Copies of this chain bind each other. A is one copy, B any other.
Amino acid sequence: MLSDAQLREYHDDGFVVVPEVLTSRDLARIRDEVERLYGADHPGRVLEKDGRTIRGVHGCHQTSELFSRLVRLPDLLESAEQLLASKVYVHQSKVNAKRALRGDVWPWHQDYIFWEREDGMPAPLVTNVALLLDDATPYNGPLLFVPGSHRMGTLSTERRRAAGGEESWKSNLAADLDYALTAEQLAALVARLGMRAATGAAGSMVLFDPRLVHGSGTNMSPYDRQLLIITYNSVDNVPQQVPSRRPEFLSASDTTPLAPLTGGLRP
């Protein structure tokens, strides 16, 4: 369970870094499984602009037995339940690969607007649990946050491209987002709130609010910066019907409340 100090940090800054959540053995298993997913043919597997470097994989908890158990690990699941004060399920899970020397930018954005506009999610009663699968350093494109920006509401409301087209979701997995902050919006925010990098050791957990403005730069280091993000949604916040649903690996239809795993990742 999160301490009062950690809860306060999450509510004040919009994020909190919790070190040493994964054991080294679980971390090694997860990393092996991620490598397997990189190689598996699946529509949720996305490449960088170079057309050959893995950018990420989506829907991991739906395609991997290990990940379906991982999302039920008490340290993760119960933190999400605590933050949302309800039972939860996984709306989305993904790995951002941010490969050594090739991992590209994520422009500054808020997550919630995608889930609201594209998936019909009624309210921001949802949270991100990100697991550092590698050490995150100032050099390998760590998650960058504008602390406190989650309290500003939804900032970018204008869709950059027209909605529709059955594959319009694809560009939102690349470095080109439909809802990204403008330079002016970011400048005004950062002048007041500054920027912070979520650096930390592999095995740490970063909890962050769905409205927190975030992005990440290029990976200039010779080391990968892999990040597994599990988006837990409150069972009281199940998305409504939308005209053209995004694929299952972006907007999960199984909203059954999750029960904590007993006995660890591999019982």
Q: Which residues of A contact B (CB under 8 A)?
A: 100-101, 105, 108, 138-139, 141, 144, 183, 186-187, 190-191, 195, 197, 215-218, 220-223
A138-B197, A197-B138 are known contacts. Are A187 and B220 too (CB-CB below 8 A)? no
Contact of A101 among B139, B183, B195 (CB under 8 A): B183
A90 to B191, CA, bound (A): 38
Q: What copy number does this chain have within its complex?
A: 2
- Smallest CB separation, A256 vs chain B (Å): 38
Nearest first, the 4 A-B pairs at minimum CB distance are A187-B222, A217-B220, A138-B138, A217-B218
Main SS class of interface, A: loop
Q: Which B-chain residue is minimally distant from A137 (CB atoms)?
A: B195
Of the candidates B101, B105, B190, B191, which one forms a contact with A218 in the assembled complex, judged by CB atoms under 8 Å apart? Answer: B105
Taken together as a complex, chains A and B put the C-alpha atoms of A186 and B220 apart, in Å, by 10
Which residues of chain B are near A183, meaning CB under 8 Å? 100-101, 222
Question: Which residues of chain B are within 8 angstroms of A138 by Cβ–Cβ distance?
Answer: 138, 197
**Do B220 and A105 have beta carbons less than 8 Å apart?**
yes
- Chain B residues, CB < 8 A from A105: 218, 220
Q: Report the minimum CB–CB distance from A142 to chain B (whole Å).
A: 9
Given B101, B190, B218, which contacts A186 in the complex, CB threshold below 8 Å? Answer: B101
Nearest neighbor of A184 in chain B, beta-carbon distance = B222
A217 touches B144 (CB 8 A): no
Task: Choose among B100, B141, B197 the residue that contacts A217 (Cβ–Cβ < 8 A).
Answer: B141
Given contacts A105-B220, A217-B218, 7 further A-B pairs with CB under 8 A are A100-B183, A101-B186, A139-B197, A144-B220, A187-B223, A190-B222, A191-B222
Q: Which residue of B186, B190, B191, B221 contacts A195 across the interface (Cβ within 8 Å)?
A: B221
Q: Nearest-CB distance from A69 to chain B (Å)?
A: 33
Residues in chain B near residue A195, CB distance under 8 A: 139, 221
A191 to B221, alpha carbons, bound, how many Å? 11
Cα distance A10–B100 in the bound complex, in angstroms: 28
Residue of B nearest to A146 (CB): B222
Residues of B contacting A187 in the complex (Cβ-Cβ under 8 angstroms)? 100, 222-223
